[in-house]
Chains A and B, each alone.
Chain A
Amino acid sequence: MNTKLVDHVTAMLEDSLRYTGEKIGDTGAIRLLKNNDADALGYFRYRLAMQVGIYLGETSEHVLEVFLYPEMPDEKITVTLPLTMIVRVRKHTAAIESIADALQDVLLAEYRKMFSPQADGLSVLLNVYFLDEDDFLGRKGLSAAVGSLYTPALRVWSSQGCRK
């Protein structure tokens, strides 16, 4: 794996933008996103979360599943709303934590450029929570959201098979 992370991130954003365009059938996806169009943002955020999940899952053998925690019903979806992601891991290592940090940094830099001026002051785009098997079995913290009836987290990647 010799590709730079920044290239991955650029590809992730390009793919999410293309996917949004396809879904809404509009060529001006970026304009809709900048205008905080809820539908466009929904597709875009889902696809981006999936790309992040794929990257994390394919990078570390310790990642078992990646979930996107949904927005609260009263939460207004905007282009600056961070993505909350739950990553189920076999072992929570320093390296995987560092990858998430690096993803956050690079993604933020590209995202700010993409959604300027709305995202100029954005400092957090990814809220990544790593939960190991103990957390999951004990339904600690956000692991409870994975099987929640009311606000179930959306699986975006699994080591058993990616929902690409």
Chain B
Amino acid sequence: MVFLKLPVIVSSCLYYYTIELGSSKTVLWYNKINKSVFVWQGNEKGSDARMRHQANRRRKISERRSITLIFSKLLEAFDLDTFLSNTASLLKSVLTGIDAVIVYLYDDSRKQLIPVSVSGFSSEHVLCLEVEAACLSVIAQVFKTGKPFVQTGKGTVKALAGCITGDADCYSMKSLLCVPMDLSDGTRIGCLLFLWTVSDKLSPRDLGLFRRIAKTMGPFAFKAETLRQSQEKKYSSLVCTLSHELRTPLTCIKGYATTLLDNNGEWNQKERNEFLKIIDAESDTMKELIDDLMESSMIESGLLSVKKEPVLLARIVEKAVGDARLRTAKHKFIVSIPKNFPVIEADPVRTRQVLDNLLENAIKYSPEGGLIVVQCRVDNREVTVSVADEGVGIAPEHLNRLFEKFYRVKTDLAGTGLGLPVASEIVEKQGGRIWASSTPGKGSTFCFTLPLTGTGPGIHTVKSPNWGKGGV
């Protein structure tokens, strides 16, 4: 006679079945995390004690695995979006049996707990929670006191009152566990809320696991929150920059257009042409700004594409430098391109865009004029193009952040802070790298590489002198 008992749940992700056949007992352990089955057989008395011991051991291992899995996944691509959108769903998927997870972070300026990541409910139904109010929700109480809160049975729905509204799923919740999230220095930064639709899933042993998860998650949450705040700052400063940058050319265009209209016939042809040239130049400035913004949004949505084709980089460099020469009389350009510079696979338009950006920066940040040296080099695997100037230079603390969006070293000069991030994206999309080196007051060097595809020497070949033949 075979008895297959109901599974015994050790933790939310580990349980076992017992099969009894006569005097022998077989235990099938099932781990829901890695979907593995472990078979244990025993027919001696006292095996229950051994089984309990085994169960404890396996529970601990399983808990450790859960935590490791959660944080290794978070670490794989840690950024704000991953944290905010994936954390709750990740917790819900790894810790099997949980029906809803909400990650709350404390916003000091609003004195509220903000639900930053929600799984199991629609996020618009989850409310922000006051922390300083007279009547606090259970979650706010957990945040204030630092004591975990467990509720099972009918009281669960009541405990959720004021936290979730307008979501029918809320009424089916039978168990609730809320743990505070602290940093290692004891600073409380938020709470984790776990919900179950059954009342018997939550065992006292689980509390330890969830507290450990909250403790480990603290620094991640803190980092995400800091990132969010810095992004908010960046965006508000961007709005200011953009309004200023767009208004300046627009004012100019409007001014000259109005002048032309108001004084119809009074201006001679030469003056009119002068005004129209200014309007044309300022329109170009506006177009560039809008182009930068569009490029930036294309990067954001992953739509920036590069169309690789065999190109003579040397020609692109010469053309870009030639055009840059026309824009400035103060600067002297030196171009160094080795003979037999190879043909490479690259997007000619995008690569030119990168070069234009680097040359424009070199001109812009060396207002006194000076040398701008453009050097092309070839090695076995890639070609390197560098643009060096004698400008103001960049302090070391800014160097690493140059390729961040909207980051600007000198805010008094025109620009959106999008040129270098766009250049960086273009170069990386083509399999290259981009970097900068600089000493304040002594100029900067920007370099980028593009991979060599082994297409051999191009047509950019100059006949070399016939050394060694004949005497001098």
Q: In the complex, what's the smallest C-beta–C-beta distance from A133 to chain B, in angstroms?
A: 13
CA A13 – CA B390 in complex, angstroms? 28
Question: How large, as a class, is the contact surface on chain A?
Answer: 35 or more
Q: Which of A95, A98, A103, A113: most chain B Cβ within 10 A?
A: A95
**CB-based contact B468/A93 at 8 Å:** no
| B255-263, B295-303, B434-442 - the one binding chain A | B434-442
Given the interface contacts A6-B339, A105-B338, A105-B377, does A93 sit within 8 Å of B467 by beta carbon? no
Q: In the complex, what's the smallest C-beta–C-beta distance from A26 to chain B, in angstroms?
A: 8
**CB-based contact A6/B462 at 8 Å:** yes
CA A26 – CA B373 in complex, angstroms? 39
Contacts of B338 in A (CB 8 A): 6, 105-106, 109
B80 interface residue (CB < 8 Å to A): no
A49 interface residue (CB < 8 Å to B): no
**Residue in chain B with minimal CB distance to A114:** B467
Contacts of A105 in B (CB 8 A): 336, 338, 375, 377
**Residue in chain A with minimal CB distance to B393:** A94
**CB-based contact B442/A93 at 8 Å:** yes
CA A74 – CA B32 in complex, angstroms? 77
Within 183-210 of B, Cβ neighbours of A (below 8 Å) are at none
Which residues of B are at the interface with A, using a C-beta cutoff of 8 A? 332-339, 370-373, 375, 377, 386, 388-390, 393, 437-439, 441-445, 462, 464-465, 467-468, 471-472
Which residues of A are at the interface with B, using a C-beta cutoff of 8 A? 1, 4-6, 10, 13-14, 17-18, 20-21, 26-30, 34, 59-62, 91-99, 101-103, 105-106, 109-110, 113-116
Give me 18 other A-B pairs in contact (C-beta within 8 A), A93-B390, A94-B390, A110-B464 excluded: A6-B336, A13-B467, A20-B472, A21-B471, A59-B371, A91-B441, A91-B442, A93-B370, A93-B371, A93-B442, A93-B443, A94-B389, A94-B443, A94-B445, A95-B443, A99-B371, A101-B375, A102-B334
* Chain A to chain B contacts (Cβ below 8 Å), 14 pairs: A5-B335, A6-B336, A10-B464, A13-B465, A29-B471, A29-B472, A61-B370, A94-B388, A94-B389, A94-B443, A98-B386, A102-B334, A102-B375, A110-B464
